[in-house]
Structure 1
């Protein structure tokens, strides 16, 4: 029942809201979080019965797909509750996830058997990337303890997704109705800027982190730094992110954005044509060129949308939590 609430709430948003903001809230964010909550609930339920088997891996992939549809929304409840890294602790430049899980497994820490208490462990041992290690890392042997860890991490993801989905039921109205009585968004420009920043930062994360990290340098490509490499999702995450960001751009814009959409089409075609699931090919000149070309395609989206969307709304991108400190 809970997963239906955001969709019901979307229908109740005031019709006086700024048109683009209302569409973002009711047609992009609320359904996105509802799908994320539903997919992670299925993952948690599957992990309880299948542990680290094929059914749980399939449910993991579906849940990660759902996260990619909404992961760029790094404001509102996810920021207020500081939950982003508990969902996706990446980049993990110091292998904190591997070390945290290794410590838990070596000690067989009983906290793994308590789903609620497990939320207090290091965030590096929570979320999608901790679960990826347990499901896909061949160096981790299946055991009753690993099954318990899998269940608690999957359950924690489901709990977090439900919290966020429920919180957005109320916050959607905050975003969609800016005004002098709204301390979060006193003007439509404040709210539009927040969404536009999320859009721009999502593209920047795709360009500089999802693509840039495995590219490394010409002399030293770093394919092992690709996101979700163990679960073979590196290219897929870029494709799904671009699709979600295009949808957000269309919802936010009040006027037609043909230039932005044309460049999204170019970038999405380039991404799907890579045929390199974990970016292993970045150490070859031709494949490296194709990934660099995709980076430029994403830059082109940002350049055009700055005018077609940002300037039209009277806003430019501001700070986003994905930008770091």
Structure 2
């Protein structure tokens, strides 16, 4: 195995291994009665609410694909909605294998099937992520407002500090800006090619400032995040104990899940365990909380697996002329 292949293997294996170890530790630490209760809660989940969650999730993905056009239009590109949607779903599927690899794949698919330069497509994706990060911060702020003392105490006990994420992003953006300025002064060699790539990337990112449909973009962004919260919130009705949880508690669990999902491939293991720990913190049973987490994670992961696989299948079929 070459060094490059080995590094690629580690990028997949290490996060996946962490998730499997977390699952094993959690289940092995539980008593037979606790495991039986957890399984009972999962098996007894009302499929109507799971179906509603899947509908909300699908609507959020469709809205994301539709919103993407507002960033591509200022540069003169008009890819088909079907291709944009399939690129989004294929990207989510890729993230289950290698975290954050989906963004690169999404841009590459639009380049392949719609002839949008990769650097410009990827620039629009970065702009999208900035908008989504702002929304996440707003949700975090609202959740902390509703449960300030308890949520901050929980974050402290779990050694989770959202400020570290913000500081890292500020540091990363600062480094990128400095790197851009250095590369922009290049006059020859590979740095010139890199400068041209960077210019296309910047053009893609600046499209968010030049789009004509700013309010429609904002509307879709709000809709996407409302759907995210709804697909999470509606699952509470599948667990009798959790069905009485307040909106503040559910929103706090949503925030914890949002941070946990980036730790391993698609949040495997860590996502349901973190949510279960939060529900325990608020006085609910570990079995009920973890069952809630597993149902949310399992249903949305299944949705990504199905729609992502179908996207990989139909992209070349529907674009065979290209």
TM (normalized to structure 1)?
0.28
User: When you count helix as a share of all residues, which structure comes out higher?
Assistant: 2
Larger Rg: 2
